[in-house]
Each structure stands twice: as C-alpha cells, then as structure tokens.
Amino acid sequence: MVLIDTPALYYRAFYSVPDSIVNDEGQPVNAVRGVLDAIAQMIRRFDSPRVVATMDADWRPAFRTAIMPEYKAARVKDAEAGTEIPPELDAQLPIMTDVLRAAGIPIAEVDGTEADDVIATMAAQSQTPVVIVSPDRDLLALIDAASDVSVLRPRKGGEWEAISQADLPEAYGVPDGTRYRELAAMRGDPSDGLPGAPGIGEKTAATLLANFGSLESIIKAAKAGVKTGGLSPKRAATLIEEEETLHKTIEVMRCLTDVAHGLDLESVPGECDRTAVEAAAHGQNIRRSVDNLIAALGDAGRGNDQSGTTQPAPVPTSTTAAGAGSGPASGSAAASVSPAKSRASQSPGSVSAEAWSQSRLVGFDLETTGVDPATARIVTAAFVESADNARTWLADPGVEIPEPARAVHGITTEFAQANGAPVAEVVAELCTVLADLKAEGAVVVGHNIVYDLSVMSAEVKRHQPHIGLAALLPTIVDTFVLDKKVEQFRRGKRTLTETAKRWKVSLLDAHDAAADALAALDISRALAQSSEEIAQLTRDEIMAAQGEWKRDQAADLQSWLRRKGNAEAVVDGSWPMA
C-alpha cells in the first residue's frame, strides 16, 4: 500500500512546476498536475493501485501546539485564518481532490490531525508492506522492518530515494525509526519551530546515539558527568539544560496511530468513475496528467514496466467513453488514434486519388528544447484527431531544458526527468505512429511542420539511426504553407496563435503540444473551406504543390531580407523537412 503525504507533494509541485500552466479560467493548475503525475509514477513504480492520498485536516493540531506553542508558528501567513497556504495553491486543492476521488483514490483526513497521523495509523493497521511517499524527514521515524514500512523521498533531478530500516545506519547513523526521531529532536527543525539542542547537529546526534543507545541514556550519562563518547562538558550541559524541550519535541513529532480515518484499507482503491473523472478534468488543462493517472491505475498489477516511463495506451473518445480502457503511462496521455471505420478495410492505394481534405486528418506537434531543429530535443509530442481523441508523450530529452524553452512550454528539466520516458523510446514510438498513419492513408497536419519533422529527423539519426524517417511519412499538410498561399499578402505574423485568430480557431493553451496540434487541425479545415481549389487536391498533389509553394515562399522571404540589408540571408526552402 502506497501512502501519499499529499500536502508535502502539492507544496513541492506548486513551487517547482511552472505556474504558467493554467486552466480555462487562467487559474494555475501546476500543483494539480504535479501531484497527479507523481501518484501515477508511484503506481507504476510499485505496480500497485493501492494508493491513499492523505491530507492535513489541521496542519497545526491543538494537541501539538498545546505541547509546544511555537510548532509551525513561523509558517502562519494569515494570523486570523491561521493558514500557511497561498491562495493560488488553495484554489487548486478542490480540483485535485475531485479528480482523485473520481479515479477511486481515497482522500484520507481526520479532524484535528495532520496527514502524518493518518499515515502512521494506516501503516500500523496495514497487513501488507507500506511505502510512505513524502519529502518530510519526520516520517522516517515510522520506518519499521518488522511491519515492512519504508519511505520514498523525492530528490533533485527527478530521482527518488528509497529508505528502509536497513538504509538508516548508513544514511543517518541510527538503527531504526525510534532512534531517528530522537536524532531529529536533537538536531531540530527551524521550519517546524523545533529548536533542537544548540550546537548539536545531525552527525553529533548520531554519534551520541551510537555510543549511548538512546536519548534517555545520553542525558543520564550527561548528568553523571561522562566525558567520553562525544559528550564534551559543553554538550553535556546543553543536553541537561534542554532536556525538557527535547522531550516535548519528541512528543510533538510522535504521530498518532489510532485516528479514525474511516477507510477499509482492504477495499483500496475504489472504483474509477470515468464520467466523474471527465467532469472533474473538464476545462482544467490537466488532460495529460489525468489520462496518465487513469492509465497507471488500469495497468497496475499486469506486470508492465514499473520504471515510470511512457507507455501509451487508449483513453476514451467522445464516441467510446462508456467502454474505453486505460490511458497512457507516465507523462503520456491520450487516446490512441484509430483508423476511420469507413476505410478500415481499404489499402492505402485504393484511396490515393481521394482529396486530402476528405481524408482522415491527424494533427501533429512537438515542444522542444530550442529553435534550431538540428540541436533541439523533443520534450513533448502529440498526435490529435479531435479534442477527445489524442495521444501525447512526455520525454526526458537527456539534456537540460533551457529557461527560454521552459518559459514557452512550461516543462522543467526536473519534471521531464521525473516523469518523462527516455527520448529514444519516444522517438521510436512516434516513428511507429507515423508509419501506421501512412499505412492507414491518413494525412498528418501541423503548423510549420517542417520544423517538427526536421527535429524528428535529427532525433531519429541521434537515437534510432536504423530508421529511415522519410520513408515512413504519410501525406503531410503544413498550415503555415497553406495559409501563406491562400492569403499571400496578409499583413502580420504567421505564428500559430495569430493564424488561429485569423481563421477563428480556438487555441486555449498555446505551446501545449496537444492544443497546438488540434489548432493546426482546425486551421487546415478552415483553409480547405476557404479555398475549394486547394481542398480538392489529392494527397499526392497537395504534397507536390506544398513543395513548390514552400520553395517560392522561401525565395520571396530571402529576397525581401536581402533588400532590407541582410545580404547574407539564406532561407531554407526544404519541405516537408530539412
């Protein structure tokens, strides 16, 4: 059973995942995404859907402040409300809890207690091994080999640190959780208002415990005038002076193990209500994370990969939601793009003369680490057939994501490392999808898709050199090229955002791969309606025509740049990729 210290994770996500990730109302949903992705990763890591999201019903319980009034007092932001939570985070919690409950993951909180108390109670009651997921060091005190309770802590760079009782001696110099609590009491924790013993840090506390066995024995030795085992006269005097405070600290840190959480642990998880999940996610811009979570729950226990990497799988479309299966794995999200039933039995050659605009259209987009296709690495990717039928990937690009790129698409290096699949796997899967779409006679649409396919080409050479990308490409439609052909002399930028405005296409989340791919798809339909001549071109004809138009457009731009004084300007007219 996996017990999530949800407050610790949502604070971590709130401050590490970009707040540029917003819902339809412009409200940040970074913490929601971060928590959902972390829980999905845990489900995969342990191949278990038995997850409980514990919460703080009271983050400064009265029974703790009665022992030590300064407990967490420094964190209070609003004295009247007695809260520490920023309003931008507080507004996200109902979204997060609605999704989790709908997915069958219980929310456990008990009046007058913290999440730590709920976790400790469930760990004591569980008949199966327990993993506590939290960055909070205090929970290391619950580690117990006899009842198989361990802790998993997030670390920098997307790594996780698994700590069992066997790891405590090397990691902290103590034999078990009980001694760790005493070490923590001597060390103190200013962020929680726990003073510790002045001048005694973690290593000194570990040395004293190793030599004397317990805090009680250390204080007895200090009172007896012992001067060995790390007990200098100064340390002994400090421990004697702080004895009462240290005992209070241990009481404050000790978690309750008898709170009435009201859950039947054997019934975890509950049933996933797909309709409720869809309702909770609607308009929140958390589709990728929601689908990721649902996929992880569906895959758990089936012997699939537990590494937290991307394993795309279907999620419901608008016509199949009632009987849909699980969604994709870590960081990936969405419905697999399936062939239109009316052409399911036809070979590609049997529809070769069909107008491209009447073919099955699938949007494609990448978000990357930079603007140079030769060096940019894939961060996210999407194939989209409709708002309810998409397939996306999150990749660990294997390099740092520069700040300018992060500012555009909102994905940090740490987030990609923690939740993304190895880029080599993503590249291989994207190539497979392209080949399948070609075999199915589909048309792949993108805005300035030359860039995306050029990035793909470089990534294929880098990670899958045995694959011939050019041979896999289906019919390609570039709305950037078509837009310039249909309205050659229109003033203004031709970015996806501005082009979407021109053709009255909704683009709610620019620079999200799925949103961009969907916008390009809708723009292509608007362009086809605008120009019947272009709309009636066959797939072979539109491919050839775009090649000519792209070369002409590049030549015109190059000529204009040189007339403006840039004599060395060169504009590449390659199409559909450089």
Q: How does pLDDT run across 497-538, given as a tens digit for each residue?
A: 999 999 999 887 788 899 999 999 999 999 999 999 999 999
What fold characterizes domain 1-165+260-297?
Answer: Rossmann fold (3.40.50)
Q: Given a cut of 70, is residue 441 above it in pLDDT?
A: yes
Residue type, 198: P
The continuous run of DSSP H or E covering 71 comes out as none
**Stretch (H or E) spanning 376:** none
Judge residue 563's burial from the number of C-beta atoms within 10 Å of its C-beta, 0-12 exposed, 13-18 middle, 19 or more buried: exposed
Mean pLDDT for the stretch of residues 407-435: 90
The DSSP call for residue 524 is H
For 175-202, letters b (16+ CB in 10 Å) and e give bebbbbbbbbbbbbbeebbbbbbeebeb
Q: What is the mean pLDDT of residues 298-309?
A: 52
Give pTM, 2 decimals.
Answer: 0.58
Determine what percent of the chain is predicted with pLDDT higher than 70: 89
Nearest to 206 by CA among 176, 236, 189, 183: 183
pLDDT above 90 covers a percentage of the chain that reads 68
Model confidence at 313, pLDDT cuts 50, 70, 90, reads very low
- Token readout for 140 is 């290391």
Query: What is the chain's length?
Result: 578
Identity at 553, one-letter amino acid code: Q
Cα separations in angstroms, 99 against 39, 114, 280, 425, 445: 12, 22, 6, 29, 32
Q: How far apart are CA 415 and CA 493, in angstroms?
A: 32
Which token pair is 559?
A: 């000529």
8 A C-beta contact, residue 522 and residue 426: no
C-alpha 301: how far from its chain's center? 22
316 or 460: which carries more pLDDT confidence?
460
Both tokens of residue 479?
């709305």
* Nearest-angstrom CA–CA distance, 285 and 505: 18
Rounded-to-10 torsion of CA 508, 511, 515, 518: 120
Retrieve residue 126's tokens. Answer: 């569980």
CATH number for the domain whose boundaries are 331-339+354-541? 3.30.420.10
Question: Crossing angle, helix 274-281 and helix 287-299, to 10 degrees?
Answer: 160
Instruction: Give bridge partners of residue 4 from the DSSP assignment.
Output: 53, 133
Burial of residue 466, with CB atoms counted within 10 A of its CB: 0-12 exposed, 13-18 middle, 19 or more buried: exposed
Torsion (CA) 297, 303, 308, 313 in degrees, nearest 10? -60
Q: Which of 124-133, 327-336, 346-355 has the lowest mean pLDDT?
A: 327-336
Q: Where are the domains of the chain?
A: 1-165+260-297, 331-339+354-541
Q: With 90 as the cut, is the pLDDT of residue 332 above it?
A: no
pLDDT tens column, 226-240: 989 899 999 999 999
Q: Do 331-339+354-541 and 1-165+260-297 fall under one CATH topology?
A: no
pLDDT 10s digits, 77-124: 655 545 568 889 999 999 999 999 999 999 999 999 999 999 999 999
User: What average pLDDT does this structure show over 279-294?
Assistant: 90
Q: What is the DSSP string of 498-513?
A: HHHHHTT---SSTT-H
Q: Which residues pair with 52 in a beta bridge?
A: 3
Q: Tell me the C-alpha distance between 279 and 284, whole Å.
A: 10
- Closest to 475 (Cα-Cα) out of 396, 364, 318, 316: 364
- Distance from CA of residue 367 to its chain's centroid? 15
Sorting pLDDT into bands at 50, 70 and 90, what band is 301?
low
pLDDT of residue 100: 97
Q: What value does the mean pLDDT of the chain take?
A: 87
